[in-house]
């Protein structure tokens, strides 16, 4: 089964956004790499912002965000290590996420609202999951909100470090070890 032209446009845009950022990538560059005209790209996506939204949606879907919400009673450290390992297997997805997230802190960036909502939603899912499992305090003594905020910062920071130095292949194990301590769990 062959990929559709629409999928090709998304794949190429993901690659170029990861390499050049949103603002540094033109629809013309995407079109040229796919073998379409600008109008051909606009046939699938009426504007560059819609293409950006599709990339963010796809990245979220492919990166198994469901692990953060659906397995609150299970092995959190192991599951977060699995998320990190998945990113290591798909560096393009990790890179586009990091580049777009960094760009989104600038005024008027079209992904700013997405990332603001994304972090709020994921943090609240984690807080609910942690509260359901441990109540108002985790075994480590942290509140669910503090643990969720620290976990998001840890995941993003580890991703940045790995993108800068891919030789650091032990991040899934480090995440698992740190989260075991963060959650106050025993091995």
Express each pLDDT in 82-113 by its tens digit.
878 888 888 888 899 999 999 999 999 999 99
Q: For residue range 114-138, what is the model confidence (pLDDT) as tens digits?
A: 999 999 998 998 999 899 989 999 9
Question: Between 171-182 and 144-164, two packed helices, what is the crossing angle to 10 degrees?
Answer: 160
Phi, psi of 104 (to 5 degrees): -70, -10
Q: Beta-carbon neighbour count of residue 99 at 10 Å?
A: 19
Q: For residue range 70-80, what is the model confidence (pLDDT) as tens digits?
A: 554 567 788 88
Sort 149 into a burial class: Cβ within 10 Å, 0-12 / 13-18 / 19+.
Answer: middle
Look at the chain and count its residues: 187
Q: Is the pLDDT of residue 1 over 50?
A: no
């Amino acid at each position: 089964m062959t990929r559709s032209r629409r999928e090709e446009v998304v794949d190429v845009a993901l690659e170029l956004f990861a390499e050049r950022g949103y603002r540094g990538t033109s629809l013309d560059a995407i079109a040229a790499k796919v073998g379409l005209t600008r109008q051909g790209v606009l046939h699938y996506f009426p504007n560059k912002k819609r293409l950006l939204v599709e990339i963010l949606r796809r990245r979220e879907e492919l990166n198994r965000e469901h692990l953060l919400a659906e397995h609150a009673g299970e092995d959190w450290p192991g599951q977060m290590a699995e998320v990190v390992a998945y990113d290591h297997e798909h560096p393009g997805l990790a890179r586009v996420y990091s580049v777009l997230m960094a760009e989104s802190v600038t005024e008027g960036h079209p992904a700013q609202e997405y990332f603001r909502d994304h972090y709020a939603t994921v943090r609240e899912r984690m807080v609910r999951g942690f509260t359901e499992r441990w109540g108002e305090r985790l075994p480590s003594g942290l509140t669910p909100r503090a643990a969720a905020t620290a976990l998001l910062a840890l995941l993003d920071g580890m991703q940045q470090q790995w993108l800068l130095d891919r030789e650091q292949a032990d991040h899934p194990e480090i995440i698992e070890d740190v989260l075991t301590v963060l959650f106050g769990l025993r091995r």
